[in-house]
Amino acid sequence: MSEYGKYVVTELRTPDTPLFSPEAVARYANFARRILWMDENVVPGAFQMNCSWYLKPLDRGVEPHTHDADEILGFFGNDATDPYNLHGEVELWLGDEKQTITRSAMVFIPSGMKHCPLLLKRVDRPIFHFSLVIEGEYIMREIKESKIPESGYGKYVVTELKEPEERKKLAPVYNKYARRILWMDEDVVPGAFNMNVSWYLKASTTIDNLPHTHDHDEIIGFFSNDADNPHDLGGEIEIWLEDEKQIITRSCMIFVPAGIVHCPLVLRRVDRPIFHFTVVPAGRYVKNEKLE
């Protein structure tokens, strides 16, 4: 284990909590396959994130609950040629409003908002799912009184790409090797933190070629699009953490603590589309480029 390799998670490790009791794990396996889990128990200092494939319909999901921290839920179709088609239908309750999701989507859930149940009404082909809560562990709170009693919860569901202007300017270069699907930040949904989701399509040096830092922690994800072989990335990625080169050939999440220099990022081989995301728990994505 190298000094910075400890931040790269490629194997499923889960905390010893009721969420992962043998009974709970067996129930989850009836409709989904969990790929990776990250929290402060897996990587000290990290915030929580879970990535899975939904494989079958589910007619009874987790009970309504809240969290003490903000959350983003993601549901994505696995066809990079038709990326907004979920190839399924998800029913998600926000407050007392039912949201029906049939397109790839990110859902921002402010702290204290009642949400769920989550039902998989239709799964025509595997759906990539993630959830992340900006705290060290995943903790569900029983419903007492929602802190957000408003209606119109559909504004928290993002199904169309709304990029910042500076990212739009980079699109001609970015689109040569990737396709950005969705972007979330406080300008898209007031109060939200930043998350970006894309498909990597071709080998290339990326626009994130210059080493940089952030003032906030970050998680970077690279995932196979093959639900039958979910740990084989189907490619090879080179990414630098400080002065260490990391070679990624398996689906992974990388925790990058605030202030850690990271990148360049090089797509050395892309045999099939690679699902990619970055999460920075700040209202906007801001890079501090490293100065020599």
For 49, other C-beta atoms within 10 Å of its C-beta total 24
Q: Could you tell me the pLDDT band of residue 38, with boundaries at 50, 70 and 90? A: very high
Give me the pLDDT at residue 35, please: 98
Enter the CATH code of domain 5-289: 2.60.120.10
Percent of the chain's residues with pLDDT above 70 = 96
Does pTM surpass 0.85? yes
Q: Could you tell me the pLDDT band of residue 146, with boundaries at 50, 70 and 90? A: low
Contact between 171 and 248 (Cβ < 8 Å): no
Q: Could you tell me the pLDDT band of residue 100, with boundaries at 50, 70 and 90? A: very high
Q: Each residue of 225-265: pLDDT tens digit? A: 999 999 999 999 999 999 999 999 999 999 999 999 999 99
Helix (H, G, I), strand (E, B) or coil at 167: helix
DSSP 190-252: TT--EEEEEEE-S-EE-S--S-EE-SS-EEEEEEES-TTSTTEEEEEEEEEETTEEEEEEE-E
Average pLDDT over residues 186-204: 97
Give me the pLDDT at residue 18, please: 81
The residue among 20 and 45 whose pLDDT is bigger is 45
- Which residue in 9, 93, 11, 87 sits closest to 44, CA to CA? 9
Give φ, ψ of 171 to 5 degrees. Answer: -55, -40
Q: Each residue of 202-230: pLDDT tens digit? A: 999 998 889 999 999 999 999 999 999 99
Distance of CA 94 to the CA centre of its chain: 19
Question: Which residue reads 């909590």 in tokens?
Answer: 17
Domain ranges of the chain: 5-289
Average pLDDT over residues 176-191: 97
- Which residue in 244, 245, 248, 192 sits closest to 220, CA to CA? 248
**CA 129 to CA 101: how far, in whole Å?**
13
Contact between 201 and 270 (Cβ < 8 Å): yes
